[in-house]
Structure 1
Amino acid sequence: MRTALVIGTGLIGTSAALALAARGVTVHLADHDPDRASTAAALGAGTDEAPAGPVDLAVVAVPPAHVARTLADAMRRGLARGYIDVASVKGGPRRELEALGCDLAPYIGTHPMAGKEKSGPLAASADLFEGRPWVLTPTRDSDTEVFNLALELIALCRAVPVVMDADGHDRAVALVSHTPQLVSSMVAARLEEADETAVRLCGQGIRDVTRIAASDPRMWVEILSANPGPVADVLSGLAADLEETVQALRALQSGDEAKRRGGADGIEDVLRRGNTGRERVPGKHGSAPAAYEVVAVLISDQPGQLARIFADAGHAGVNIEDVRIEHATGQQAGLVQLMVEPASADTLARTLVERGWSLRR
């Protein structure tokens, strides 16, 4: 791939353009808002000048509702040898292209499983896709050349290709992406009019659950509008679980001992099912989940503290597998939770204490 055209210079389009440009591809940028394309160009994502002729690959990075018509227009104008889109829904756009009478041979639907709560070109980064799954949904009609171009794009972005059926993809993202967004927003909405005293008690749990609730509502309306059926199916199952859990909690309020036992069993059942489901979430580098031990270190909110901890862990010869920070309410301090292999936990704890750190159990 020597040349590419990115149509749509938001977070995903600009990030892909940055990655391609950094690896020597001549990237042309286009957007319905010329200022966004100019901003992306100023960031080093390419040029906002139109290509002189057909490019090797056109990347359509527009909202799902506009994918089919944008692709159809690009194909009609002969802008590229091959065409892909990066929308988070795949079945609908493909069927719309068929309805518009487009030749689907030079087209493959794709979806990089990466993003941020922020949107727009200024939020973009060339490393956004590194190590992340990038789904391709080819059909029997897809040209091998276009498939290879798409694979090359994914390699240049240092992502991991995953081939799926388009409708299977849409059901999958309804479960692992779209429904979590809605649930996160629903939980965060409970805080909107909550008492300030309650909000001040927010800890890491509520922060984790509501992190993605900061996402752009307009963007998510467009995504959910393109995949309503599969998301509604997942939410229907979740609603049934919620209703059973509500009934179990009401039973725990009862003075009837038998009802209380039944309620406790119901709560335990949903919690255990949650344990089982959580265990299926891929671990580090996509491997099977690993059980790490946590070494919690009290840390002050000052420059260089994290660097010191990591340096001391390196001195102990211990690899930090993951890290989380819990900030103390009303204090310039917090807990750094260092996740390490269980066999390394004692060594790390001993070394940190020797070097003046205060641990918390």
Structure 2
Amino acid sequence: MTIDPVKLDTVLVLGTGLVGTSIGLALRQRGVTVLLADRDLGAVRLAREMGAGQEWRLGDPVDLAVVAVPPDHVASELRGLQQLGAARFYTDVASVKARPIAAAAALGCDLSTYVASHPMAGREKAGPGAARGDLFLGRPWALCPTDEASAAAREAVLRLIELCGANAVEVAAEDHDRAVAVVSHAPHVAASAVAARLADASDVALGLAGQGVRDVTRIAGGDPGLWLGILSGNAAPVAEVLEAVSRDLSEAATALRALAQGDESAGPEVTELLKRGVAGHGRIPGKHGGPAAAYAVVQVVIGDRPGQLARLFQICDEVGVNVEDVRLEHAPGLPLGLAELSVQPDAVAVLNQALRDRGWQLP
């Protein structure tokens, strides 16, 4: 049976943190009326000033309510909204799914109007001030309908995902939680463990820090309180992944100890882990999904002053070269850095020549 698309004229966002405010900004760009609510009135005010919507007043008609609160609070907030009859349909955007759904059922929530979901997008920064209307563009957004969920509720959440520019991925709640343990939650703990070594590192070590350690530890800057709630809600799957990582690290450490004592036979064990790492990295989907494309990198020295990136991209536009990705590496103590532009291999010669002709320095 074909279901007519559900029209979302008005959406309530309960929780004006990074994700909730970003949803509001994305929907406002598509002409949707967004109503905002949060126990933190300051957060609501900032989200409103950023253009994410207007403050919700009880009784305002709403098509869909988005519960954007930590996992442990999803069920109680959902129950409260449903008791008020706040919306026709409901979703949440917490990063774990099985426990909130089970808690909602235990509280007697109406599961026919509720479809849990989770946008796979975020930043290491938190709060409405870090929100962006393009946060979800092209990103996966999981939806986890239960057997009780109505077709109309599912369509409403699919419409939300479409309006935010994300790609819907339907998955069972338990499968979702096991998956995010591998690709999100355990990596955050691993990054934190590496970053924790820097807390007591010498000034010499920190002075030698390059882009590699910044890349590995970037996500470790997240709010610990928020992440404790996320990890607690998905504790068992995350623990399983961390135990597997721990075994790999322990075996690598033992092999390296052997190498340090002159036992060259331990080398292949370390090599095998590095090879498996390369294989795993290669399986990360590219920007359009599927296998990651093999791009070439053009490096160019760039001054640390306004307008330099704009000039660089303008040259790419002039010669018809599409920049697939960009990465900046700053030079400590100097007013310059290195821009790495990922382009199609056949565009390298054209772009290099164009940059040289315009006086740019290539390493």
TM value normalised by structure 2: 0.94
The residue number in structure 1 matching 2:238 is: 231
CA contact (8 A) 1:107 1:146 kept: yes
One-letter amino acid of the counterpart of residue 334, structure 1 = G
**Residue-by-residue CA offset, 1:92-135 (whole Å, 9 max, x unaligned):** 00111121222311110000111111111222122211111111
CA distance in 2, matches of 1:2, 1:299: 45
Aligned CA distance change for structure 1 residues 34 and 304 (closer, same or farther; 3 Å): closer
CA contact (8 A) 1:104 1:141 kept: yes
The residue number in structure 2 matching 1:320 is: 323
The residue number in structure 1 matching 2:251 is: 244
Deviation at 1:3, TM superposition (A): 1.7
**Which residue of 10, 28, 46 corresponds with 2:53?**
46
One-letter amino acid of the counterpart of residue 342, structure 2 = M
CA distance in 2, matches of 1:329, 1:53: 53
Report the count of equivalent residues: 356
Unaligned residue ranges in structure 1 (runs of 5+): none
2:303 corresponds to 1:300: yes
**Residue-by-residue CA offset, 1:51-110 (whole Å, 9 max, x unaligned):** 425421111011001001111111122111111000000000011112122231111000
CA distance in 2, matches of 1:202, 1:167: 39
CA contact (8 A) 1:28 1:51 kept: no
One-letter amino acid of the counterpart of residue 246, structure 2 = A
The residue number in structure 1 matching 2:270 is: 267
Farther-moved stretch of structure 1 (334-343 vs 207-216): 334-343
**Which residue of 342, 347, 353 corresponds with 2:345?**
342
Q: Matches of residues 201-216 of structure 1 in structure 2 within 5 Å?
A: 201-216=208-223
CA distance in 1, matches of 2:306, 2:52: 32
Deviation at 1:282, TM superposition (A): 0.9
**Which residue of 161, 186, 196 corresponds with 1:179?**
186
Aligned CA distance change for structure 1 residues 36 and 192 (closer, same or farther; 3 Å): same
One-letter amino acid of the counterpart of residue 111, structure 1 = H
Aligned CA distance change for structure 1 residues 49 and 284 (closer, same or farther; 3 Å): closer
CA distance in 2, matches of 1:57, 1:307: 39
CA contact (8 A) 1:111 1:136 kept: yes
**Residue-by-residue CA offset, 1:154-178 (whole Å, 9 max, x unaligned):** 1111111110010100011111111
TM value normalised by structure 1: 0.95
Aligned CA distance change for structure 1 residues 41 and 312 (closer, same or farther; 3 Å): closer
CA distance in 2, matches of 1:126, 1:253: 51
CA distance in 1, matches of 2:26, 2:293: 31
2:89 corresponds to 1:85: no
CA distance in 1, matches of 2:23, 2:207: 39
Q: Matches of residues 138-153 of structure 1 in structure 2 within 5 Å?
A: 138-153=145-160
CA contact (8 A) 2:12 2:56 kept: no
The residue matched to 1:284 in structure 2 has which SS? coil
CA distance in 2, matches of 1:357, 1:20: 40
Farther-moved stretch of structure 1 (97-106 vs 240-249): 97-106
The residue matched to 2:122 in structure 1 has which SS? coil
The residue number in structure 2 matching 1:170 is: 177
2:324 corresponds to 1:333: no
RMSD (CA atoms): 1.5
Deviation at 1:327, TM superposition (A): 1.1
Aligned CA distance change for structure 1 residues 351 and 21 (closer, same or farther; 3 Å): closer
The residue number in structure 2 matching 1:157 is: 164
The residue matched to 1:347 in structure 2 has which SS? helix
CA contact (8 A) 1:54 1:78 kept: no
Unaligned residue ranges in structure 2 (runs of 5+): 1-7
2:288 corresponds to 1:291: no
**Residue-by-residue CA offset, 1:184-240 (whole Å, 9 max, x unaligned):** 111111111111011011111011011111111111011111110000000010011
Deviation at 1:11, TM superposition (A): 1.0
The residue matched to 2:88 in structure 1 has which SS? strand
CA distance in 2, matches of 1:45, 1:69: 24
* Aligned-pair identity (%): 52
**Residue-by-residue CA offset, 1:221-262 (whole Å, 9 max, x unaligned):** 11111110000000010011011100110111123xxx312x
The residue matched to 2:160 in structure 1 has which SS? helix
One-letter amino acid of the counterpart of residue 31, structure 2 = G
CA distance in 1, matches of 2:28, 2:325: 31
One-letter amino acid of the counterpart of residue 347, structure 2 = S
The residue matched to 2:95 in structure 1 has which SS? coil
Farther-moved stretch of structure 1 (202-211 vs 114-123): 114-123
The residue number in structure 1 matching 2:15 is: 8
